Amino acid sequence: MESPLLHLALVGTPNSGKTSLFNALTGSRQKVANYPGVTVERKEGAFVTPQGRQVSLVDLPGTYSLRGRSPDEEITRDFVLGRATGEVLPDLVLCVADSTNLRLTIRLLLELKSTGRPLALVLNMFDIAKRRGVTVDVAGLSQALGVPVVTSIAVRKGGTDDLLRLTDQLAAGADAAGGERANTWRPLTVPELRATQREADRIINATVSLPERPDTWTARIDSIALHPVGGLFILLAILFIMFQGVFAWAQPLMQLLSAAFDALGQLVHDQLPEGLLQSFLQNGVISGVGSVIVFLPQIIIIFLFILLLEDFGYMARAAFLMDRIMGGAGLHGRAFIPLLSSFACAIPGIMATRVIDNRRDRLTTILIAPLMTCSARIPVYTLIISAFIPPTKVLGLINLQGLVMFGLYAAGIVSALLVSFLVKFFLMRDYQPAPFMLELPDYKMPRLRSIAIGVYTRAKMFLQRAGTTIFAMMVLIWFLASFPQPPAGATEPAINYSLAAMIGQALAPLLSPVGFNWQIAVALVPGMAAREVAVAALGTVYAIEGGKEAAEQIGQVLADKWSLATALALLAWYIFAPQCASTLAVIRRETGSWRWMAVTFFYMFALAYAAAFATYHVAVAMGAG
Amino acid sequence: MSEICDTRPPLPLGLARRGYTGTIQHLAAGGTTSSLPDVELESRLIELGFVEGARVEILHEGIVGRDPIAVRVDNITVAVRRREAMAVIVA
């Protein structure tokens, strides 16, 4: 029997464990996209109930109420009310609560009831609540609220069985969810809001018994992690470990990947006759795409750190610690999380600025997010650092290469703070700081499965990009670097006769004051598609110029062909490097204007040029030319 | 709760120091320098659990100007700036 697809939606306050429940139910069967017209992330997954019913589940953005004071919260409201464009009204709304902390969710649930949608309450993290001595009269709570209530432990196998069973019951037509009623929702006034909170507290008092002792672990960790001075040191230490990790731990895996691609290229080289096809596959496809995929371990490590800290509950603490410090530079404490995400990639970072509800705070954060060192810069940094900076130990224990890497990250952060300060000072003088109000959730053991799914989704996105955009760019670069072919009897390397050389030489006068040769100029052009492509492009350019050995030893080739001053200037350029077409596209979409996109491009280009110029000339003056 | 009220004058939470414990008397969004409109500030405070009768304790303070503050509100912890906490009258 073919039953219709059942549409479910997850609603809950931030930190209710909504996402880990979503991951537990749908596993890796997830689709991440955007809602039409806005850039709020739309997460949809699928699962099958024990009775074989197909279910589509949407994870709605976290919210405390249906008032909709940010684009995210508006989506949640519109979705539940059936006003969202192109969306199906959900058959059942699952309101997810952190069982240790029911007050705010019960209030939200009372508000949700007025929408008339069939509704159920999911008491998530029920195991943690039990361990803390919280007891819930589930039947009584269900009766008092007038909706079905189930408990769940998203992180344990079988922890969602009750929820699945309930879904089947409701789908079978049981009217347990109170059925569908008319929508009588309207924004609550302050007295109504207060009254619903009172009502929620009354219900909780009648059905839930809370232990007298709060979570002692959270209190103990916070007494160190939120210490005004000690807390900042811990934050700094975490960031430092993160960057050392990205640089040092990923190395063995990266060498393995790189060796595998070299072997593959060699295999193609041996199997195919000398000629264009051989060159295309080996130099264009394998060495080009390979040089980007090599960075997968680093991207996995940085996302692992970010997701672990988020899941542990530390991210909100970091925002707390940084609020006034960032406030000095005109930034909101909430900007910390988007900016930290920007270390992975500016695109999710810029999209994460949606949590900042003040438009000006949001705009400033968007403008500086691309200055955070995104993972796409890592390939460039890694290549140049390993070619030019010796791996000596400083003070006997710190790796100099890691230190330079840290310095580059620090330079990005400092310049971001400076830019933000200048924006606030010159463009927004009448600025009134927006409030900082944030729940600090209890610490929780990170849920490894949930994190694994998160890392997997991101790695997949990266590989898809490597397989599409980057692949296409590599083919284009190979073509530019290979045609026209050198005339018969040519003495110079083939690439010197190509289109790439012509483009590079045309740009060279513009870039020679900052110490860049035409090969770098060629590499910067496709770097517009994605920053890391520049590395692959350098690989392709030098591979075609110097043959197979050069492709395998790209770092060695650069060390031979570039001066230290040029290498340092390129590093300085890349701190600002405005060329990332997708970031610019996201800025346009998020700000809704070409103007801010253009502002971002030109200010970053100017900074990149100035920084590279200064670095090059200082380095030359110090004898590194 | 009432004996505390008798012995201590009401005070905006924004002026209290780390370690302070008390009970929320009422919300007074009108008197703050917050950039939010009064109704919006009051709504947000209620949504985070700042309602009359809730027990509050200041657990932590930031490094710059002892701001923001981490406040225990009944059984959750909320970070707010002192500027907004001025709307919460405690005793």
Structure confidence by residue, pLDDT tens digits, A67-93: 887 777 888 999 998 887 778 889 899
| B51 → closest Cβ in A194, A325, A435 | A194
- Determine, for residues B84 and A327 on separate chains, whether the beta-carbon distance falls below 8 Å: no
pLDDT exceeds cutoff 50 at A252:
yes
pLDDT tens, A544-588? 555 545 445 677 778 888 888 999 999 999 898 766 777 787 788
**Domain assignment present for A170:** yes
Nearest-neighbour CA in chain A from B72: distance (Å): 9
Q: Is residue A28 part of a domain?
A: yes
DSSP string, B7-74: HS--EEGGGPPTT-EEEEEEE-GGG---SS-HHHHHHHHHHTT--TT-EEEEEEEEEETTEEEEEEET
> Which residue of chain B is at minimal alpha-carbon distance from A223?
B60
Please give the single-letter amino acid code of residue A511: L
A14 touches chain B (CB under 8 A): no
At CB < 8 A and 24+ separation, what contacts does A264-273 make? A264/A290, A265/A290, A265/A548, A265/A551, A266/A548, A269/A548
Residue A202 has pLDDT above 80, yes or no: yes
In a domain, A42, yes or no: yes
CA distance A12 to A523: 47
Cross-chain Cβ contact A437/B80 below 8 Å: yes
- Taking residues A204-214, what's their average pLDDT? 80
Q: Provide the 3-class DSSP secondary structure of residue A434.
A: coil
pLDDT at site A433: 66
CA-nearest residue to B72 within chain A is A440
CA distance linking residue A530 with residue A528, whole number of Å: 5
SS3 A43: strand
Domain count, chain A: 1
Q: Is A272 exposed, middle or buried (0-12, 13-18, 19+ CB in 10 A)?
A: middle
Query: Which amino acid belongs to residue A506?
Result: A
Distance CA A29, CA A24 (A): 10
Complex-level ipTM: 0.91
Q: Residue B43: its chain A contacts at CB < 8 A?
A: 65, 67, 188, 190, 193
CB A558, CB A383: distance < 8 Å? yes
Higher pLDDT among residues A363 and A375, named by residue: A363
Sign for the pseudo-dihedral over CA of A264, A267, A268, A269: positive
CATH number for the domain that contains residue B71: 2.30.30.90
Q: Mean pLDDT lowest for which of A50-54, A353-357, A608-612, B80-84?
A: A353-357
The predicted-structure confidence for A442-484, as pLDDT tens digits, reads as follows 898 888 888 888 888 778 877 776 677 667 777 777 787 777 8
Which stretches in chain B have pLDDT values below 70?
A: 1-7
Three-state DSSP class for A62? coil
Mean pLDDT of chain A: 82
The CA distance from B79 to the nearest CA of chain A, in Å, is: 5
Q: Taken in order A250, A251, A255, A256, is the CA torsion positive or negative?
A: negative
C-beta atoms of B35 and A432 within 8 A: yes
- Looking at CA atoms only, how far is residue B59 from chain A in angstroms? 8
Nearest-CB residue to A190 (from B36, B43, B79): B43
User: Residues near A68 by Cβ (< 8 Å), separated by ≥ 6?
Assistant: A74, A76, A77, A78
**Does A190 lie at the interface with B, CB-CB under 8 angstroms?**
yes
> Is there a domain that residue A339 lies in?
no
With beta carbons under 8 A apart, name residues in chain A contacting B50. none
CA distances to A376, A401, B34 from A388, in Å:
20, 9, 52
Look at the pTM and tell me if it is higher than 0.90.
Answer: no
Domain for residue A567, yes or no? no
d(CA A166, CA A150): 8
Candidate from B63, B74, B80 with C-beta closest to A228: B63
Query: How many structural domains comprise chain B?
Result: 1
Residues of B in contact with A219 (CB under 8 A): 59
DSSP A610: H
Could B48 and A65 be called an inter-chain contact, meaning their C-beta atoms sit closer than 8 Å? no
pLDDT band at A341 (very low <50, low <70, confident <90, very high): confident
The verdict on residue A51 lying in a domain is: yes
Residue A385 buriedness (CB in 10 A; 0-12 / 13-18 / 19+)? buried
Residue type, A303: F
Which range marks the domain in which residue B65 is found? 2-90
The confidence band for A175, taking pLDDT boundaries of 50, 70 and 90, is: very low
Mean pLDDT, rounded, for A513-535: 78
Nearest to A435 among B59, B75, B81 (CB): B81
* Beta carbons of A435 and B48 less than 8 Å apart: no
Name the residue with tokens 């109704």: B39
pLDDT at A592 > cutoff 60: yes
Range with lowest mean pLDDT among A3-7, A318-322, A485-489: A485-489
3-state DSSP call for residue A393?
A: strand
Please list every residue in chain A whose beta carbon sits closer than 8 Å to the beta carbon of residue B41.
435
Q: Is the pLDDT of residue A296 over 90?
A: no
- Which residues from A are below 8 Å from B70, CB to CB? 222, 226, 320, 440
Closest CA to B41 of B54, B55, B31, B56: B31
Amino acid at A381: Y
pLDDT at A230: 93
- A 370-399 residues with CB below 8 A of B? none
Cβ contact (<8 Å) for A65 and B47?
A: yes
Alpha-carbon distances of B10 from A191, A285, B31, rounded to whole Å: 22, 72, 14
Q: What is the pLDDT of residue A610?
A: 94
Q: Is A232 on the interface with B (CB under 8 A)?
A: yes
Among all residues of chain A, which has the CA nearest to that of B81? A436
Residue numbers of the domain that contains A59: 6-209
Q: Which residues contact A594 (CB under 8 A, 6 or more apart)?
A: A588
Q: How far is B26 from chain A (nearest CA, A)?
A: 11
CB atoms under 10 Å from CB of A238, counted, come to 14
Whether residue A132 lies within 8 A of chain B, CB to CB, comes out as no
Sheet holding A54-59, edge to edge: A30-34, A41-48, A54-59, A6-12, A92-98, A119-124, A149-151
Q: How far is CA B36 from the centre of its chain?
A: 16
Does residue A114 sit within a domain? Answer: yes
End-to-end CA distance of chain A: 76
Q: How many helices (H) and strands (E) does chain A have?
A: 29, 12
E strand map for A369-429: 393-394, 398-399
Describe the crossing of helices A18-26 and A448-465 by its angle, rounded to 10 degrees: 70
Query: Measured between beta carbons, which residues in chain A are less than 8 angstroms from residue B42?
Result: 190
Contact A306, A344 (CB under 8 A): yes
Selecting from A100, A320, A442 the residue whose C-beta is nearest the C-beta of B70 gives A320
Cross-chain residue pair B64–A229, CB shorter than 8 Å: no
Q: Of A62 and A28, which is predicted with more confidence? A: A62
- Reading the block at residue A246, the tokens are 């990205």
Residue A436 has φ and ψ, to the nearest 5°, of: -120, 110
- Residue A579 touches partner B, C-beta closer than 8 Å: no
Q: Which of A108, A190, A217, A443 to probe the B interface (max B CBs under 10 A)?
A: A190
Q: Does A480 map to a domain?
A: no
> What's the sign of the alpha-carbon dihedral A564, A532, A386, A268?
negative
CB A183 within 8 A of CB A116: yes
Q: Do B62 and A323 touch (CB under 8 A)?
A: yes
Say what the pLDDT of residue A550 is.
Answer: 46
Quick one: closest CA in B to A219, which residue?
A: B59
If DSSP codes are grouped into helix, strand and coil, which group holds residue A175?
Answer: helix
Averaged over A244-270, what is the pLDDT? Answer: 82
- Cite the DSSP H helix spans in A512-580: 518-524, 533-546, 548-552, 554-561, 564-576
* Beta strand ranges found along A27-148 (DSSP E): 30-34, 41-48, 54-59, 92-98, 119-124, 135-136
How far does the CA of residue A103 sit from the closest CA of chain B (Å)?
7
Q: What is the pLDDT of residue A386?
A: 83
A–B CB contacts, 8 A cutoff, strictly below: 122
Query: How many angstroms separate the CA atoms of A148 and A404, rounded?
Result: 57
Angle at A450 between CA B78 and CA A406, to 5 degrees: 75
Provide the CATH number for the domain around residue A15. 3.40.50.300
Separation in Å, CA of A226 to nearest CA in chain B? 7
CA distance A502 to A230: 56
d(CA A60, CA A11): 6
Residue B64: which of A325, A434, A438 has the nearest Cβ? A325
- Asked whether the predicted pLDDT for residue A145 surpasses 60, the reply is yes
Optimal mutation site among B52, B76, B82, interface A, most CBs of chain A within 10 A = B76
Angle at A155 between CA A150 and CA A159, to 5 degrees: 35
Residues of chain A with pLDDT > 70: what percent? 89
Residues of B in contact with A438 (CB under 8 A): 78-80
Distance of residue B9 Cα from the nearest chain A Cα, in angstroms: 24
Cβ-in-10-Å burial (0-12, 13-18, 19+) of A220 comes to: exposed
> Which three-class secondary structure state does DSSP give residue A8?
strand
Q: Is the pLDDT confidence value at A297 over 80?
A: yes
Say yes or no: A433 contacts chain B, CB-CB below 8 A: yes
Question: Coil, helix or strand for A541?
Answer: helix
pLDDT digits (tens, 9 = 90+) for A379-417: 788 888 888 888 787 777 778 888 888 889 889 988 998
Q: How far is CA A605 from the centre of its chain?
A: 24
Nearest to A222 among B41, B45, B60 (CB): B60
